[in-house]
Each structure stands twice: as C-alpha cells, then as structure tokens.
Amino acid sequence: MGILVISRHGESEWNLLGKWTGWTDVNLTEKGHNDTVRLGALLKGLSFNEAYTSSLKRTQQTLAALLEGCGVENLPTTHATEL
C-alpha cells in the first residue's frame, strides 16, 4: 500500500508579517526553508513516486527543501495552479 504525504508550505515572508497571502507569490523565509528541510529529514527513507505542488514560489521552494532533507533528487513533479 502506498503512502500519501501532504504538507503545507513553510513559513512565508507574509506569514512572518501576519498577512494573508492568498495568490500573492511570495518566498519562504529562512525559517520556513529550514523547518521544511527538517521535515524532509523525518521523511527520509520513504519512497516517493511523484510530487504535486502549486505554481507559487513558496510551494515549489517548500518541495525543494523537503526533498533536500530527504536526499531525493529528480522526482517527477506536477505544478498545478489549482493546488
């Protein structure tokens, strides 16, 4: 049986300011990046077939940091605005 891993994006620049981000395309903070790398380390050893993320920078940065923490490279990824 497969495992589905769902994660919210890491802390964004606007999260830090207490602002609602919506579709505004903002980056992760350093904390958001580091927290997500640590999450990836917790998931190390799981086998991933593919990833899905929105087209927003913060979600793509979150996926990259998570995969960095897992030690996973070249994972097929679908970027969909609807996510």
User: Where do the structural domains in the chain lie, given as residue ranges?
Assistant: 27-79
pLDDT at 79 over 80: yes
Predicted confidence at residue 2, as pLDDT, reads 84
Distances from the Cα of 40 to the Cαs of 18, 23, 66, 69, 73, in angstroms?
Answer: 25, 25, 4, 4, 12
State pLDDT tens for residues 8-57: 999 999 998 999 988 999 999 999 999 999 999 999 999 999 999 999 99
